[in-house]
Amino acid sequence: MTDVATVFVVDDDHSVRRSLARLLKSVGYRVESFASAADFLAGARGSVPACALIDVRMPDRSGFDLFQELQERCPGLPVIFITGHGDIAMSERAIKGGASDFLVKPVDESVLLAAVERALASSGARLMSGGGG
């Protein structure tokens, strides 16, 4: 385990991953980036506090599918959805499903950082695979 809060960024777009990671690191967070749901499940290491910033639309497996699996494998890991296709129905689905927040791209740093803070505050998660922290 580590005291440094970790944010997992899962987005298939390289530039988005890199820029979000950079922004979050500039605030002092530890960031691990993944290009797909499969990469995340295989490579993420358990950490507390932690939260995941997950893109909704990804090839192979959507963010919602990943969230469903995380709720079984890693209950308590707060998930913030981020998407360029935000609509009311999608945000309702996300929040009612248990997501911590639902953000629309491009996202302002104050909104993003506030969402991450809230998510980390509720974090008690430990990933049940991919090694311990």
Partner 1 sequence: MEIGAIEDYPPAAAEDRHSFERLGYEAGLVIPLASGNEVLGSLSYLCSDQPVHWDGHRLARLRLIAEIFGAALARQHAEDALVGSEVLKTAILGSLASGVAVLDREGRVIAMNERWSSLARDSGLEWANTSIGADLLARARTAGTREAERVVEGSLAVLSGELLRCVVPHTAATAQGPRFWVMSIHPLDRPEGGAVMTSAEITERKRAELDAQAARAELAHMARVATLGELASSFAHQLNQPLTAIVANAQAGRRMLASGDRSGEVPTVLEDIAADGLRAGTVILRLREMLRKDDPQPVSIDVAALVQDVAGLVANDALIREVNVRLSLPPTPLTVRGDRIQLQQAMLNVLMNAFEAVAEGTDGRLVEVDAHATGGHGVLIEVSDTGPGLPVPATRIFEAFYTTKTWGWVWACRSSGRSWRRTADPSVPPTIRGAAPS
* Residues found near partner 1 in the complex (CB under 8 A): 13, 15-16, 18-20, 22-23, 25-27, 57-59, 62, 84-85, 105-109, 112
DSSP string computed for 74-96: STT--EEEEESS--HHHHHHHHH
Task: Please report how close the Cβ of residue 88 comes to partner 1 at its closest, in angstroms.
Answer: 15
Task: Please report how close the Cβ of residue 115 comes to partner 1 at its closest, in angstroms.
Answer: 13
- Euclidean distance between CA atoms 25 and 5, whole angstroms: 10
Q: Which is nearer to partner 1, 65 or 76 (CB)?
A: 65
Task: Please report how close the Cβ of residue 32 comes to partner 1 at its closest, in angstroms.
Answer: 16
Nearest to 80 by CA among 107, 52, 111: 52
